[in-house]
A and B are shown apart, each in its own frame.
Chain A
Amino acid sequence: MNSLKQIFPKGDLIAFAILAVLLAVVFPLAMDVFRLNLVGKYLTYAFVALGLVLCWGYGGILSLGQGIFFGLGGYCMAMFLKLEASSPENTAIQSTPGIPDFMDWNQLTELPWFWEPFHSLSFTIIAVMLVPTVFAFFIGLAMFKRRVGGVYFAIITQAIAAILTILIIGQQGYTGGVNGITDLRTFLGWDIRTDSAKVILYFVNLVLLFTCLVIAQIIRKNKLGRILVAMRGREERVRFSGYDVANFKIFVFCIGALFAALGGAMFTLQVGFMSPTFVGIVPSIEMVILCAVGGRLSIFGAIYGALLVNFAKTSFSESFPELWLFAMGALFISVVLFFPNGLASVYQDHIVPRFKKRFKKQGKPVAVKPRVQTAKNQPNTTEKTDDVLTGGTL
């Protein structure tokens, strides 16, 4: 691994600090518990967007099925909470006390075998992280080793998301069906519906999110991150540099799944239920939009994108619920057309240079590093530079 300074250059440290202050100080001070809990919920999508930055922005792997992993993580956590909420005392009026209510309604008379281990918290935590990651591993293995990529991969992930939704809805007795797993109350006896619990969960969520951010930063600042970028543009060349491309794709896809799963589990804890609405095609596409709006090359952009789009969604759908999907579509199209690298590029291209100019005027030298992303989008400058470069060497 490289030194800390290489992994956390000054600009990124500042970005970390700004985000930390905003999320850990400003929001908790400025918002009531209801709003804060809402932000906490939005931030669970930020986990997914963050994973997509690595998978899609860096590695070029577009997954339209991240809801799968968000859902699996969320369901694992929901199963644990549901079992706790379904103690024999709480469910005494059921024909079979001690099993979740929806099972009782569906004439189940004992807990299915795969629910049993979710009595244990340690098992649940491991399952939250492992079940989605292992699932992603096998999807990745099956697809990437066969060199299925691009649009085909996106469609397949989408199909899997659809299948999983149908499965969950169809197996009502085991999964709670279309309503999902609801009426979750306590976590090891601690009531998660109280205001104080919501505030604490908000901060737990933040700690997890920042852990994922640091992991993402380490990955992208290492050689691994550069291999991902290389793979995005010239997958074939990477093979001839001696790398097994499929392994790198599987790895980053698994990381994306793990992040999404953590988000899903924190969603369940903070919102108090999990349902197939968060697994299928529409939520999966929404997650890609969050990432695109924030900027698919920016791990910080992903967080801001998740916050902004969801704020917009909440306020918009309060007044025009039926129009939200259209607004979302319009937002996505305009971002892709006008800011292909999302809000983060607006910040990088317009706000940062202005700051730097300021500092320069005050006599502080600022090293301006050439930015790679702009190279592609400005053929004119490229040609000009070519002449200069060639002239210089020959």
Chain B
Amino acid sequence: MSQKDFVLSVEGLTVSFDGFKAVNDLSLYVDEGEIRVIIGPNGAGKTTVLDLICGRTASTSGSIKFRDKELTKMSEHQIVHAGVGRKFQNPSIYEDLSVFENLELSYPKGRSVFGALFFRRDQAVINQVHEIAEMIFLQDMLDKPAGLLSHGQKQWLEIGMLLIQEPDLLMLDEPVAGMSVAERRKTAELLKRITKGRSVIVIEHDMQFAEEIADRVTVLHQGQVLSEGSMERVQNDPKVIEVYLGH
């Protein structure tokens, strides 16, 4: 019953944009080590929920507890330091830097101004970057400017940037969107590997993909939880069927 069982507990979360409640009195509990998939029609508020958790958007009311920390009062970088990592819907990487430098910047060391000034690219950093690069299929691209990567490769790079941060809670917003079939397959493989031993929230449209990886599924609709449970249960929930068919 204690909140310690949950890695993340969101309670009564509401955000209002000029009166429009994009997320409305939402509660969500994620277990330690669980893989939660959030689905829902476009505009349901999925991305906004992640924005609220990672501090990008300030909530109007409600609480977000990560382990014993209240995230709603923390700034973005503090939330990252606490162990929450987030991948954006559109690949968000540093185009002007090389793949290596992108990963190196995400390595959780030397994050203060002077820490960065005196940061040394030591063997541990290099090894870690190479290890992650191999995982995300970019081991031969390390010296390439990240701006030259394909869309899919940019998505992988951003996943890599997340992994090297070693977050306890990983949040991925539509990680396979815009990928080719081959890339999708590779990404599914990658996600299965990296989600082991971590708590993960994935937003996904692809039902088959969601079913493959999810422990539990949450269906969002108009900023509220419509249904929650195993994929099978959710798919047979009349409310869900109505929303999906009604659209």
* Chain B binds chain A: yes
Mark A residues whose CB is within 8 Å of B: 1-2, 6, 218-219, 222-224, 226-227, 229-230, 232-234, 236-245, 247-248, 251, 369-370, 372-373, 375-376, 382, 385-386, 389-390, 392-394
Evaluate contact between B116 and A244: CB separation under 8 angstroms.
no
Q: How many A-B residue pairs have CB under 8 A?
A: 134
Q: At the interface with chain A, which of B21-29, B63-71, B98-106, B193-201?
A: B98-106
Q: Chain A interface: which of B11-19, B39-47, B87-95, B213-221?
A: B87-95
> B183 on the interface (CB 8 Å rule)?
yes
* Chain A residues with CB under 8 A of B180: 394
Closest to A239 in B: B76
- Majority secondary structure, B binding face: loop
Contacts of A239 in B (CB 8 A): 75-77, 80
* Residues of B that sit less than 8 Å from A by CB: 54, 56, 75-77, 80-81, 85-86, 88, 92-98, 101, 104-106, 108, 110-113, 116-121, 137-138, 140-141, 143-145, 147-150, 152-153, 161, 165, 180, 182-183, 186
Enumerate chain B residues within 8 angstroms of A226, measured Cβ to Cβ: 97, 101, 104-105
**Closest beta carbon of chain A to B49's beta carbon, Å:** 16
Q: Which of B77, B118, B153 has the most CB of A within 10 A?
A: B77
B105 in contact with A390 (CB, 8 Å): no
Cβ contacts under 8 Å, A238 to chain B = 105
From DSSP, what is the main secondary structure of chain A's interface residues? helix
Residues of B within 8 A of A393 (CB): 137-138, 140-141, 153
Q: Is the CB of B140 within 8 A of A233?
A: no
- The residue of chain A having its C-beta at the shortest distance from the C-beta of B106 within the complex is A241
Known: A224-B113, A230-B97. A389 touches B153 (CB 8 A): yes
Q: From B121, B138, B145, B149, give the contact of A2 (CB < 8 A).
A: B121
B80 A370 Cβ-Cβ under 8 A: no
Please, could you name 7 A-B residue pairs with CB atoms under 8 Å apart, sorted by A?
A222-B119, A223-B104, A227-B105, A240-B92, A244-B111, A375-B96, A390-B153
User: Which residue from A243, A373, A390 sits with its C-beta under 8 Å from B96?
Assistant: A373
A244 → chain B, closest Cβ, in Å?
Answer: 5
- Nearest chain B CB to A133 CB, angstrom units: 14
